[in-house]
């Protein structure tokens, strides 16, 4: 892809994953920006990237690029994405697209007005087994979908000494477990089933009403230093959310999102029950898809670029028996994004700004449902 020239803003753990993916697919990275210029310089050195900036605006002024990856904390997404689309550059933004549905609606409008492609990193779509499931459903492989259930569980916020910018509502947003990881589940459920979530009924819990913030920067998934000095911080965002959901075809479902489930590191699981058969995918065994049958034997489809259906095979780059994991799905997403730019049209797999906006509306409906203890309709 010689014509694409990218810049990456934010060089924390997910920024580094984008940079690695771009290097793998051969998109030229012209510059990186980070308020922590030391981080930007280290990663630029590793990948031989020429431009390093502390101020992303300066980078947008100076660099000859056609795309920008936004990998900063959540509260920066809106301002940066707006600046990028106003410069008529394509943008791949980390989730959430912005902190509110109102801001995301404005971004969708502005991206359209400037004829640029806007995408949001709902990366779990890009596992071969997930796309195989979507392909099966598209060809009516499991019959009418009646039930969709699952969860997304983590444990990196189990202790009250676990702290990070995501816990500050001004930086991370008003919702945490639901917006940070529940949104991945909702996106996956909608993308694979092809059905929109129309109503939600939620029950949220903040396990730690206060947390101890250690001095200095704490990266996501990192443990606090045992000798650290702490400040006590009141918590307003949820550690856990249980949500009943209804889909546009009348299907029912439920999911829970938790960041305080010991032993569960990154456990996203989706189960779909149709009138003919069932599908189950679990991130813990990401290269497999279980197909459940009432009559005859159940099957497990394993990742294979030759034996999977067209949608699954398109995401598999190594032979069967060679697992493809998290870095490969970021790579698949970047490939999809740049192919869409080159072809000048969306692929159907790419999570767009519209999908990011949709997740803001679901998250806001979930917060309202929990506040009012009732079913809330998602604006669609
Ligand atoms: C932290 O909970 C986090 O990094 C999320 O922000 C990501 O979206 C998820 O994929 C992994 O966990």
Calculate helix-pair angle for 353-372, 101-113, nearest 10 degrees: 170
- The CA-based dihedral angle spanning residues 71, 75, 81, 83, taken in that order and rounded to the nearest 10 degrees: -120
| Res 362: pLDDT | 98
**Token duo for residue 64:** 């000859």
CA distance 290 to 216: 44
| Res 4: pLDDT | 95
Q: How far is the CA of 181 from the centre of ligand 1 (A)?
A: 6
Q: What is the pTM of this model?
A: 0.96
Identify any residues that bridge with 211 across adjacent strands, giving them in sequence order. 233
**141 torsion bin: left (phi>0), alpha (psi -120 to 50), beta (else):** alpha
Q: How far is the CA of 242 from the centre of ligand 1 (A)?
A: 18
Distances (CA, A) of 281 to 71, 151, 259, 371: 27, 11, 20, 32
| Res 217: pLDDT | 67
Q: How far is the CA of 261 from the centre of ligand 1 (A)?
A: 15
| Res 219: pLDDT | 67
CB atoms within 10 A of CB 323: 13
Tell me the DSSP string of 50-117. Answer: -EEES-HHHHHHH---SEEEE-S-GGGHHHHHHHHHHTT-EEEEPSSSSSSHHHHHHHHHHHHHTT--
Q: For residues 309 and 132, is the Cβ–Cβ distance under 8 A?
A: yes
Mutate to test the pocket of ligand 1, among 154, 158, 181, 239 (most ligand atoms within 8 A of CB): 181
Pocket lining: 165 vs ligand 1, CB cutoff 6 Å? no
b/e 256-290 (16+ beta carbons within 10 angstroms → b): bbbbbbeebebbbbbbbbbeebbbbbbbeebbbbb
| Res 272: pLDDT | 98
Q: In what order do the strands lie in the sheet with 197-205?
A: 299-302, 288-293, 277-282, 267-274, 145-153, 252-258, 240-247, 197-205, 376-377
Q: For residues 337 and 117, is the Cβ–Cβ distance under 8 A?
A: yes
Pocket lining: 74 vs ligand 1, CB cutoff 6 Å? no
Which numbered atom of ligand 1 lies nearest the CA of 221?
1
Q: In what order do the strands lie in the sheet with 67-70?
A: 51-53, 28-33, 5-9, 67-70, 90-93, 118-120
Tens-digit pLDDT profile for residues 198-224: 999 999 999 999 999 988 766 666 777
pLDDT tens track of the chain, all 380 residues? 458 999 999 999 999 999 999 999 999 999 999 999 999 999 999 999 999 999 999 999 999 999 999 999 999 999 999 999 999 999 999 999 999 999 999 999 999 999 999 999 999 999 999 999 999 999 988 999 999 999 999 999 999 999 999 999 999 999 999 999 999 999 999 999 999 999 999 999 999 999 999 887 666 667 777 677 889 999 999 999 999 999 999 999 999 999 999 999 999 999 999 999 999 999 999 999 999 999 999 999 999 999 999 999 999 999 999 999 999 999 999 999 999 999 999 999 999 999 999 999 999 999 999 999 999 999 88
| Res 229: pLDDT | 83
Pocket lining: 326 vs ligand 1, CB cutoff 6 Å? no
Which numbered atom of ligand 1 lies nearest the CA of 180?
6
* 49: three-class secondary structure by DSSP: coil
Q: How far is the CA of 111 from the centre of ligand 1 (A)?
A: 25
Which numbered atom of ligand 1 lies nearest the CA of 13?
4
Q: How far is the CA of 120 from the centre of ligand 1 (A)?
A: 13
| Res 43: pLDDT | 98
Which numbered atom of ligand 1 lies nearest the CA of 14?
4
């Amino acid at each position: 892809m010689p014509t694409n020239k990218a810049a990456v803003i934010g060089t924390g753990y997910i920024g580094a994953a984008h940079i690695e993916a771009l290097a793998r697919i051969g998109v030229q990275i012209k510059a990186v920006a980070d308020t922590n210029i030391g981080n930007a310089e280290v990663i630029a050195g590793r990948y031989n990237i020429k431009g390093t900036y502390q101020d992303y605006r300066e980078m947008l002024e100076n660099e000859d690029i056609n795309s920008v990856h936004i990998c900063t904390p959540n509260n920066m997404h809106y301002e940066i994405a707006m600046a990028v689309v106003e410069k008529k550059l394509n943008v791949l933004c980390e989730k959430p697209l912005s902190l509110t549905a109102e801001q995301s609606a404005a971004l969708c409008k502005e991206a359209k007005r400037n004829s640029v492609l806007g995408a949001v990193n709902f990366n779990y779509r890009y596992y071969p087994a997930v796309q195989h499931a979507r392909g099966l459903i598209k060809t009516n492989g499991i019959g009418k979908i009646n039930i969709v259930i699952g969860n997304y569980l983590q444990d990196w916020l189990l202790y009250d000494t676990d702290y990070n910018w995501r816990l500050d509502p001004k930086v991370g947003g008003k919702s945490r477990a639901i917006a940070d990881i529940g949104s991945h589940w909702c996106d996956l459920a909608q993308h694979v089933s092809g059905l929109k979530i129309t109503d939600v009924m939620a029950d949220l819990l903040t396990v730690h009403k206060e947390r101890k913030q250690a001095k200095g920067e704490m990266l996501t998934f990192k443990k606090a230093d045992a000798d650290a000095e702490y400040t006590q911080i009141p918590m307003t965002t949820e550690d856990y959310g249980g949500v009943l959901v209804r889909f546009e075809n009348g299907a029912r479902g439920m999911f829970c999102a938790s960041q305080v489930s010991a032993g569960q590191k990154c456990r996203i699981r989706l189960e779909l029950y149709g009138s003919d058969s069932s599908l189950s995918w679990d991130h813990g065994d990401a290269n497999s898809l279980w197909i459940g049958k009432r009559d005859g034997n159940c099957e497990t489809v394993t990742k294979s670029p030759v034996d999977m259906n067209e949608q699954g095979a398109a995401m598999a780059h190594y032979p069967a028996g060679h697992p493809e994991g998290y870095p490969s799905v970021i790579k698949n997403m970047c490939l999809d994004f740049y192919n869409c730019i080159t072809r000048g049209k969306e692929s159907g797999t790419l999570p767009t700004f519209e999908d990011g906006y949709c997740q803001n509306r679901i998250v806001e409906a979930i917060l309202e449902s929990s506040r009012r203890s009732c079913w809330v309709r998602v604006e669609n």
